[in-house]
Amino acid sequence: MVRLRDRLARSGSPLGARLLSVLSRTDLTEDDWDELEETLLLADIGAGPAGELLEALRTRVRVEGVREPAAVRELLRSELLNVVDPTMDRTIATTRPVVDGVAKPAVVLVVGVNGTGKTTTVGKLARVLVAEGRTVVLGAADTFRAAAADQLTTWGARVGVETVRSDREGADPAAVAFDAVAKGSRDDVDVVLVDTAGRLQNKAGLMDELGKISRVITREAPLGEVLLVLDATTGQNGMQQAKVFGEVAGVTGIVLTKLDGTAKGGIVVAVQRELGVPVKLVGLGEGPDDLAPFDPEQFVDGLLG
């Protein structure tokens, strides 16, 4: 997996630079504070967390009289960490999908709107798990688009794992998911990753479909994790999607993709706050190795550059 910090720093995320440039001015005026707020909002950090961050900064700048650039950076770093990771629980274990310590196979259902990067994420995650010595089966339960199963099968072949699919377009996605998990059980596989379709036009339909997939899977094995894939470049739109999927799919973790294509990394903060669900993985490119565990410290250091 790539290092989150290096990749974010390379994408030149300007959030940290802009914040630091304002904070290093002597005698910050109300206009300066407004500019800071705007910078945070433009980075999709969300109004609530932005307000908290500013309040904390204001107090400390005033009370501690921090001025020296290195000290301002440290202050900003610690306050950003507070909003990114309020629990201070920075163990990697909590940022990885649950594939250990559960009955075999661990089933990971991957949901989200089409185009957000679900299939690519399943492929990348399979690669990581295989590199760690685990056995994996993929389930192509996005039966809505024929091309989706082809794309997943290609990823499977690339990574060296089998893909369970139906050749019939419009086949029952729950049946494909069941077959994949059943194969995983039969073959004593460690992890089954199930890719799904994500049509948001009809919330009731989506709920029915994902509900049925979950029910059918749990006849064969417990559902270990439901990962919601969100495209970081879609900003507040992504939040709306997150809420819908949060309601219908019992999401247990977020994968935030395309962080390489945006300076709006603040969406990580907004999503965690809004959904109360941790960002577990981030996508940093289209290649097979462009997946990283979400690590708050690396993330903040990447933002600050």
- Residue 106 annotated in ligand binding: no
Does the protein bind ligand GDP through residue 262 (CB under 6 A)? no
- Residue 142 annotated in ligand binding: no
**Bond from prior residue into 97 cis (ω within 30 degrees of 0):** no
Question: Nearest residue by C-beta to ligand GDP?
Answer: 283
Does the protein bind ligand GDP through residue 261 (CB under 6 A)? yes
Between CA 101 and CA 138 the distance in angstroms is 20
The CA R_g of the chain, rounded to the nearest whole Å, is 21
Q: Closest CB to ligand GDP among 11 and 214?
A: 11
Which residues from 274-303 bind ligand GDP, rule CB under 6 A? 283-286, 290
Q: Closest CB to ligand GDP among 118 and 264?
A: 118
CB of 24 to ligand GDP, least distance (A): 32
Which of these, 283, 214, 285, lies nearest to 245 by C-alpha position? Answer: 214
In this chain, which of 117, 139, 293, 296 binds ligand GDP, going by CB under 6 A?
117
Q: Which stretch binds ligand GDP (CB under 6 A): 54-62, 211-219, 255-263, 272-280?
A: 255-263
- Residue 126 annotated in ligand binding: no
What three-state secondary structure class fits 62? helix
x/- letters, 206..245, toward ligand GDP (CB under 6 A): ----------------------------------------
* Helices 236-249 and 203-218: angle between axes, nearest 10 degrees: 50
In this chain, which of 10, 25, 69, 115 binds ligand GDP, going by CB under 6 A?
115
Tokens 């996605």 correspond to: 173
- Residue 258 annotated in ligand binding: yes
CB of 34 to ligand GDP, least distance (A): 33
Between CA 217 and CA 124 the distance in angstroms is 22
Which strands make up the sheet holding 106-111, listed edge to edge?
Answer: 162-164, 136-141, 191-196, 106-111, 223-231, 253-257, 279-283, 291-293
- Kindly list the distances between the CA atom of residue 216 and the CA atoms of 26, 57, 102, 175, 221, in Å, as whole numbers in the listed order: 62, 50, 18, 8, 9
Sites of contact with ligand GDP (CB under 6 A): 112, 114-120, 257-258, 260-261, 283-286, 290
Detail the residues annotated as belonging to a binding site for GTP. 112-119, 195-199, 257-260
